[in-house]
Amino acid sequence: MLRQLTIGFLCCTPVLAGETSPPTDLINLVHQDCGSCHGLTLKGGLGPDIRPQSLSHYDVETLSTVVLDGIPETAMPPWRPLMSEADAKRVAEYLLQGELK
């Protein structure tokens, strides 16, 4: 477990506040890794549909908090150990708008 935490820490430290990963990396992460539960096309799997029309009741702030902290008592994990706050905000924007500028 120590090794996991160390690696997580190392991955996260280079990401300074306000600095974000390239859009292609974030989009890839959403489809490949969020997609393990929500489906490659995000229309749902073990986790719910997370296409823009299904998330319209969220704003960017709330949704990025869900990404960072997960939803307790469900299978949605907190991504904070792997993702900066700035990246989580970009992911939320992508999920709500369906594109990343």
**Residues in CB range of 27: below 8 A, 6 or more apart:** 94, 100
Contact 90, 101 (CB under 8 A): no
Cα distances from 82 to residues 23, 41, 52, in angstroms, run: 16, 22, 23
Q: Is 40 in the site for other proteins (CB under 8 A)?
A: yes
Q: Is 37 in the site for other proteins (CB under 8 A)?
A: yes
Q: Is 23 in the site for other proteins (CB under 8 A)?
A: no
CB of residue 8 vs other proteins: minimum separation in angstroms?
A: 8
Read off the DSSP letter of residue 9: H
Quick one: 2 or 17, whose CB is closer to other proteins? 2
The one-letter amino acid code at 80 reads R
Q: Is 86 in the site for other proteins (CB under 8 A)?
A: no
Note the residues at the interface with other proteins (CB under 8 A).
1, 3-4, 7-8, 11, 32-33, 35-37, 39-41, 43-46, 70, 75, 77-79, 81-82
